[in-house]
Structure 1
Amino acid sequence: MAQFDGIEALCDGQFWADGSFINGSAVPNFTTCFQHTVLVFVPCAFFWLLFPIFLAQLHRIRVKKDYTSLHWSALLCIKCVLTIILGILSLFILGKSIYSLERDETVPTINFIYPSILFVTMVGISACIVLAKIHGMVTSGILHLTWIVFLICGAPEFYAWLQRVSTSELLENTELARCIAYLIWYPIVVVQAFLFCFADPRRRWITELTMKYNRSPELDSSFLNRLTLWWFNPIPIVGARKDLELEDLFQLNEGNTSAYLIPRWEALWLPAMQKYNEKKQRLINEDTSIAYRKQTSKSDGLKVESDGVALETKSEVKPPSIVWRLFLMFRYEILTATAVKLMSDVLQFASPFLLKYELKSLFLFQNVTLKS
């Protein structure tokens, strides 16, 4: 296709013309060009677009100084080592392409680009893991979702290599190296997506304090745990056995306590009330002056006007809005929840239209895509 000429020149092949996909196989097969461009660039771009948000989260934790750094637990070490292995595999694929080029073999330009991007991304993820360890961040939704996107986008290439291996198709030396590297790469990505479902443990003394004072485990739980509210399970379990008492409940997180919220509220409310009182006092003084001048004019039998308008008492000053101050206080939480609710409503609204296209004549992956 003419619109893909630039990409096809990089790949030295077709971008969107795989016959097995067009003819409708049970599982879609994408072209090698599509696998090494879109299916590589999407997860990498996803990570780098959210990287500034990750740094902002770290900055917020550093300012609050709530937690000390994490220790090198077995889980944290495995996460870091596996990410480094993925970076090494990316360098291996890049090195193999350079070696093939030196042997005067034809190597598509994309074979130098996509492993380089993968290597830089793995370096970035490794840096994020170390930074999270230093600042005491036990979990990161950005890193977890990044591995999920890698898992989804990497499945077509993994399936394509399995197809070629299962049919005993002969592979050239370069393709064989890439095949072996990817058959190692993708299972590691699957393992990483699973490992990031768990939070990195804090130091033992912090864990002991949490248990001793019955602190809420929410902030020590993983991203997936918080999404599913799995950390809250002990409360209903205890409630099913006996009536809940105050001692059975978790302590409030610091961000939900009055000691934290009252200063934030006063920082917004007190200046607004001060401005309101100043305006009100100014209005009272002006009304007093106007009333005095009216009384004087009546006693003299005169009608006094100011700028051509009869002197009248001004309307009262409106008090500051409580709702607006509450919005300013929780603006990030409200905006985030509103955006999520909006996306949910749009998906619910579009669901009947998408399900209308679900047909028995469609293949499994097409129906699954429409349902999801």
Structure 2
Amino acid sequence: MAEACAARTDNVFGPAVSCPTTFDFTLLFEQSILSIGPSTLFLLLVPLQLLRLYRTSIKTVPNIAYWIKLTVAIALLGLQVTLLILWAHHDTIQTAIPAAALSLTTALAIVILSAFGHNRSGRPSSLLSIYLLASIFLDAVQARTLFIRRRPSSIAATFTAGLVVKVLLLAVESRSKRGYLRKPYRRYPPESTSGIFNRTVLWWFNSLFIGGCRKILSLEDLFSPDDTF
């Protein structure tokens, strides 16, 4: 009964449905607002980011972090290909294939931006970090709905696997590149090499605070003025 109810109601924009007793957003609403919308916005911003990076020089030395990021990003791309194929076989929602196709395109853009930005930016990509964080929360809502609706288990499992890979990708993308920057850039202050999350909560100040607890700080202990990459 739940499957029949879901088939009828999930093609309604919603935003909410009780099917039969669980209050939840419809898949049409979630895929339109939580998937297609953010993916479109991200894809519009990626070319601007790539153009900016293209005009800068390479700032890192060869390192294993590049290959770790690339491996995780390609794994996400593979899962999105699988998800698109699964939706094509079990398509009952109007927005299923468009949302999956946009997610696949977004995953490809993530691979390109991650590979390109890793070498040409001295700090983690703000655009990539913000999108991945937002996408994780939005995908968690959709994953819950897929399991509630008792959609084909392969779709729910693949979608959830993609969510887990995004969490892992966010973790590796948010790490500082300070350890493998080229010599001219290693002298930059932590503020210049920290990612958006680090700068938002002023986490880069911790080493200064710890030093201040152990001794009286001098001018030599302070960071040099901020530089922009």
Q: Considering the TM-score relative to the shorter chain, is it more than 0.5?
A: yes
Do residues 197 (structure 1) and 182 (structure 2) align? no
TM superposition shift of 1:189: 2.0
Based on CA coordinates, which of the two structures has the bigger radius of gyration? 1
- Counterpart residue number, 2:142: 157
- Of 135-144 and 194-203, more deviation after overlay is shown by 194-203
Q: Read off the aligned partner of 2:219 and give its amino acid letter.
A: L
Q: Read off the aligned partner of 1:111 and give its amino acid letter.
A: A
Structure 1 moving runs of 4+ over 4 Å: 105-109
Residues 273-352 of structure 1 correspond to what in structure 2 (within 5 A)? none
Contact 1:71 1:202 in 2 (8 A): no
- Cα distance, 1:240–1:160 mapped onto 2, change above 3 Å: same
TM superposition shift of 1:59: 4.5
CA deviations over 1:46-82 (Å, ceiling 9, x no partner): 312322442354155x1xx4x53343423x4333222
Q: Read off the aligned partner of 1:14 and give its amino acid letter.
A: V
TM superposition shift of 1:142: 0.6
- Counterpart residue number, 2:95: 110
- Counterpart residue number, 2:18: 20
- Counterpart residue number, 1:184: 161
TM superposition shift of 1:12: 7.7
- Counterpart residue number, 2:6: none
TM-score by length of 2: 0.79
Unaligned runs of 5+ in 1: 1-10, 256-372
Contact 2:123 2:177 in 1 (8 A): yes
- Cα distance, 1:240–1:134 mapped onto 2, change above 3 Å: closer
TM-score by length of 1: 0.51
- Cα distance, 1:246–1:185 mapped onto 2, change above 3 Å: same
Q: Read off the aligned partner of 2:18 and give its amino acid letter.
A: S
Contact 1:70 1:135 in 2 (8 A): no
Provide the C-alpha distance between the structure 2 equivalents of 1:97 and 1:19, rounded to a whole number of angstroms: 22
TM superposition shift of 1:84: 1.6
- Counterpart residue number, 1:43: 38
Do residues 29 (structure 1) and 29 (structure 2) align? no
Higher relative contact order (CA 8 A, sep 6+): 2
TM superposition shift of 1:157: 1.4
Q: Read off the aligned partner of 2:53 and give its amino acid letter.
A: L
Contact 1:73 1:200 in 2 (8 A): no
Contact 2:13 2:29 in 1 (8 A): yes
- Cα distance, 1:69–1:235 mapped onto 2, change above 3 Å: closer
TM superposition shift of 1:217: 2.1
- Cα distance, 1:77–1:29 mapped onto 2, change above 3 Å: farther
* Paired residue secondary structure (1:199): coil
- Cα distance, 1:97–1:239 mapped onto 2, change above 3 Å: closer
TM superposition shift of 1:107: 4.6
- Counterpart residue number, 1:133: 118
- Cα distance, 1:253–1:49 mapped onto 2, change above 3 Å: same
CA deviations over 1:138-164 (Å, ceiling 9, x no partner): 311110000012112112111123445
RMSD in angstroms over aligned alpha carbons?
Answer: 3.1
TM superposition shift of 1:254: 4.5
Q: 1:73 aligns with which of 53, 57, 64?
A: 64
Provide the C-alpha distance between the structure 2 equivalents of 1:199 and 1:30, rounded to a whole number of angstroms: 38
Provide the C-alpha distance between the structure 1 equivalents of 2:145 and 2:227, rounded to a whole number of angstroms: 50
Contact 2:59 2:181 in 1 (8 A): no
Provide the C-alpha distance between the structure 1 equivalents of 2:133 and 2:143, rounded to a whole number of angstroms: 15
- Counterpart residue number, 2:5: none
- Cα distance, 1:227–1:53 mapped onto 2, change above 3 Å: farther
- Counterpart residue number, 2:189: 216
Aligned-residue sequence identity (percent) comes to: 22
- Cα distance, 1:249–1:29 mapped onto 2, change above 3 Å: same
Q: Read off the aligned partner of 1:47 and give its amino acid letter.
A: F
TM superposition shift of 1:36: 2.2
CA deviations over 1:137-196 (Å, ceiling 9, x no partner): 4311110000012112112111123445xxxx5x5xxx2321221121122222233333
Provide the C-alpha distance between the structure 2 equivalents of 1:117 and 1:20, rounded to a whole number of angstroms: 28
* Paired residue secondary structure (2:160): helix
TM superposition shift of 1:122: 0.7
